Amino acid sequence: MGMLEKIIVAEGREKGAVQKILQLAAKNGIPVEWMGRGGVEKLAPGLVHQGIVGLCREHAYASVDEVLANRHKGSRYSLVILLDGITDPQNLGSIIRTAHCCGANGVIIPENRSASVTASVAKASAGAVYRLPTAMVVNMARTIDDLKERGFWIYGAAGEFNCPPGATTDPANVACYNKEPGTFNRSVSTRLIARSCLNCHNAIHGSNAPGARGKYFIR
């Protein structure tokens, strides 16, 4: 709950499930403010809020170093998910949720041509954005080069190839690169091909690809 600054509750909503929320807020030191129903409607116009709204700070992105340092304690190796051109907030949220379930270190997204972490992404991730670090970088190609220098194998998810996951190498630190259909980052794709990075083929684009790869690498 590190990003939650305040909870607004509509007057008359003190009972039932809201009571549990109030108890959690008190336990975590989150202030609660009571407001008329009309005021709550103005804070969340057109949304199904059930009389309670949380006010959050802007998402605090992690650094790449923080992502790499967040290796799952049950794994000997790191797994980093690189997402390029994932513009659909639902897809981004689903991938972050799956990456968290697979024990990934974290997710890296580019500053441009990508959805950022918003309330919609947080909802689609089922709250995983608050538990799994997400880094935003200016240059994805440079980030891939940096990861390779740190000993990572880069696996590019590409739907136009057909190669079973069993064709991968022995366990190692892995960065799985995925792009959304219809997007193309020439500088990154050239590096994946020209520098002989091992491609992880037979992938599913969008929200399922990194999850499928992640479950194979981790489990």
pLDDT digit string, tens, across residues 28-56: 888 998 888 888 888 877 776 778 888 87
Q: Mean per-residue pLDDT for 195-199?
A: 44
pLDDT digit string, tens, across residues 147-162: 988 988 887 765 555 5
Delimit the CATH 3.40.1280.10 region(s) of the chain.
64-218
Q: Could you count the other beta carbons within 10 Å of the beta carbon of residue 24?
A: 13
Residue 125 clears pLDDT 90, i.e. is over it: yes
pLDDT given at position 183: 52
Which of 159-163, 200-204, 211-215 shows the lowest per-residue confidence on average (mean pLDDT)? 200-204
Phi/psi region, residue 37 (left: phi>0; alpha: psi -120 to 50; beta: rest), is alpha
CA atoms within a 13 Å half-sphere pointing along the CA-CB vector of 174: 30
The three-state secondary structure class of 93 is: helix
- Average pLDDT over the chain reads 76
Residue 75 clears pLDDT 90, i.e. is over it: no
Class of domain 4-56: alpha beta
pLDDT digit string, tens, across residues 133-142: 999 999 998 9
Let me know: does 52 contact 13? Beta carbons within 8 Å. Answer: yes
Class of domain 64-218: alpha beta
Chain CA centroid to CA 215, Å: 16
Delimit the CATH 3.30.1330.30 region(s) of the chain.
4-56
